[in-house]
């Protein structure tokens, strides 16, 4: 009969094999002054943990990194199309010729595909690419959420078919343009592993978040605007801010170690929603 102590020892060794990086990766972490400690193997990630750009340089491109990264880039591209299209319908009365729900389902399927690739890869070879897998599994959720907000924008257009004009709209259009530029730069940074450009996206989100919060505060204090007009503006500001936040999270994967994804490099949130 196998003793409880023996089972615990086996579990500990298994945990060590699952959580401890392969020797080549352990050497890379040591070179970066990363001390590792997991159960039974003597390795732990500390503050100098590597970011995604470093990891992609260290690991040979595997099917996981190739296919899952390509899927994320394609999802970003589709999300960008959805973003431009939904805002055109809502803000400029463009004809609704695309099925936003079908586009969103494409993002959903992409997220599922990335998760499946990660699960299959780690099930077969858990010692390879574990950290990039964590990055990809996290940011693919941010990309998928962008599609959800684009659906929300189209649904706003259904409730407010008039062209958006009047108070606050010029400011909101400026925010929209800022987010569109952030989208371009996030895609470029992610495709090219450009940490400097990604950092600029994070900084611009922090400024944009403050702008959106200021506009929302002014709307809350508004005495002259009818409720319907105020609600449509407040929701539009909110959705633009959230798309920006998800782009910032994707960009942060090129700047921050895994445990600080979505946060400023010092680990603090950059707007009051987080």
How would you class 2 by CB atoms within 10 Å of its CB: exposed for 0-12, middle for 13-18, buried for 19 or more?
Answer: exposed
User: What values do phi and psi take at 257, rounded to 5?
Assistant: -70, 165
Location of structure tokens 């039974």: 40
What would you measure as the largest C-alpha separation in the chain, in angstroms? 79
- The pTM assigned to this predicted structure is 0.77
Q: Both tokens of residue 87?
A: 């805002």
pLDDT of residue 63: 65
Quote the distance between the C-alpha of residue 18 and its chain's center: 26
How would you class 206 by CB atoms within 10 Å of its CB: exposed for 0-12, middle for 13-18, buried for 19 or more?
Answer: middle
CATH class entry, domain 50-260 = mainly alpha
How many whole angstroms separate alpha carbon 72 and alpha carbon 80? 12
pLDDT of residue 267: 58
How many whole angstroms separate alpha carbon 136 and alpha carbon 52? 9
Location of structure tokens 């919060």: 213
pLDDT of residue 242: 98
CB 157 within 8 A of CB 89: yes
Report in angstroms the alpha-carbon separations of 203 from 123, 135, 165, 236, 267: 37, 20, 29, 22, 14
pLDDT of residue 194: 94
Name the DSSP letter for residue 22.
P
Report in angstroms the alpha-carbon separations of 159 from 70, 99, 217, 231: 36, 17, 23, 11
Q: Where are the domains of the chain?
A: 1-49, 50-260
pLDDT of residue 174: 98
How many whole angstroms separate alpha carbon 247 and alpha carbon 205? 8
User: What values do phi and psi take at 50, rounded to 5?
Assistant: -75, 155
How many whole angstroms separate alpha carbon 209 and alpha carbon 212? 5
pLDDT of residue 44: 40
Quote the distance between the C-alpha of residue 206 and its chain's center: 15
Q: Both tokens of residue 246?
A: 């998800």
User: What values do phi and psi take at 51, rounded to 5?
Assistant: -100, 170
Average pLDDT per block of 10 residues along the chain, 274 residues long: 43 38 40 36 43 54 73 96 97 95 97 91 78 90 97 96 92 98 96 93 96 96 92 97 97 92 71 60
């Amino acid at each position: 009969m196998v003793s409880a102590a023996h089972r615990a020892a086996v579990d500990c060794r298994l945990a060590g094999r699952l959580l401890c990086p392969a020797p080549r990766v352990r050497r890379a972490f040591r070179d970066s002054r990363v001390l590792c400690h997991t159960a039974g193997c003597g390795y732990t990630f500390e503050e100098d943990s590597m970011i995604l750009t470093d990891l992609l340089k260290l690991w040979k491109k595997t099917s996981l990194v190739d296919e899952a990264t390509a899927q994320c880039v394609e999802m970003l591209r589709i999300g960008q199309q959805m973003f431009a299209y939904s805002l055109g319908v809502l803000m400029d009365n463009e004809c609704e010729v695309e099925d936003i729900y079908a586009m969103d389902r494409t993002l959903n399927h992409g997220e599922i595909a990335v998760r499946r690739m990660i699960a299959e890869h780690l099930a077969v070879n858990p010692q390879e690419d574990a950290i990039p897998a964590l990055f990809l599994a996290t940011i693919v959720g941010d990309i998928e959420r962008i599609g959800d907000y684009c659906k929300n924008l189209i649904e706003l257009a259904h409730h407010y078919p008039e062209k958006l004009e009047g108070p606050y709209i010029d400011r909101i259009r400026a925010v929209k343009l800022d987010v569109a530029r952030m989208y371009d730069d996030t895609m470029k940074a992610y495709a090219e592993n450009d940490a400097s450009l990604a950092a600029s996206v994070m900084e611009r989100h922090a400024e944009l978040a403050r702008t959106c919060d200021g506009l929302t505060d002014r709307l809350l204090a508004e005495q002259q605007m009818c409720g319907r007009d105020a609600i449509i503006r407040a929701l539009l500001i909110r959705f633009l801010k959230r798309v920006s936040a998800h782009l910032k999270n994707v960009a942060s994967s090129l700047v921050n170690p895994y445990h600080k994804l979505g946060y400023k490099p010092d680990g603090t949130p950059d707007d009051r929603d987080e």
